[in-house]
Amino acid sequence: MIVLRIAGGIREHFGMRVTEWIMTGALFGWSGCLAMDPLTFDRSPSMAIIATYGNESFWANICLMAALLRLGALIVNGTFKGFRYSPHFRAGASIASCVFWGQIALGVLVAVLTADGSGTGVIVYLTFMTIEMWNLFRAWADVGASQRRR
């Protein structure tokens, strides 16, 4: 019965949260790539900036935690009306993701400016960061709506 309730809650809110689901997949993907290849940062000059803050294992764990946090929030979002902190957790995952994608975009930009990288990465990672900023905006709007209902 609980599985049907969760599936119904996800289905009901999926259209409004589709970018959060997509970016959750991106975080899981990055986490897996970094965990499986401990030389990711060594192979790309574009990753030099993010590597100064931590190694692949550190960032794989950050991505995994943010993805799990968001996944949990998306699962309970709307399914369990009594849990009013779902938008707070969604916002937290978006903040962590903004920092992550922003650091990668910065690293790629620095690599491009020093003639060691490709500008396409800047566009891709800034797009991811922009999507996460949108997700953050939507989550905080839900926080406000939740507080007004109380």
pLDDT digits (tens, 9 = 90+) for 19-39: 999 999 999 999 999 999 999
CA–CA separation, 101 and 114 (whole Å): 20
Q: pLDDT confidence of 141, banded at 50, 70, 90?
A: very high
Percent residues over pLDDT 90 in the chain: 41
The answer on pLDDT for 101 being more than 70 is: yes
Look at residue 150 in the predicted model and tell me its pLDDT. 66
The answer on pLDDT for 136 being more than 90 is: yes
Domain borders along the chain are: 2-149
The answer on pLDDT for 83 being more than 80 is: no
The answer on pLDDT for 9 being more than 90 is: no
B/e letters for 66-105, b = 16+ CB within 10 Å, e = fewer, are: bbebbbebbebbbbeeeeeebbebbbbbbbbbbebbbbbb
Q: 46-50, 120-124, 139-143: lowest mean pLDDT where? A: 46-50
Average pLDDT, the chain: 88
User: Using one digit for the tens of pLDDT, what is the confidence trace for 36-82?
Assistant: 999 999 988 888 888 988 999 999 998 999 899 889 888 887 677 77
Nearest residue to 139 (alpha-carbon basis) of 82, 62, 84, 67: 84
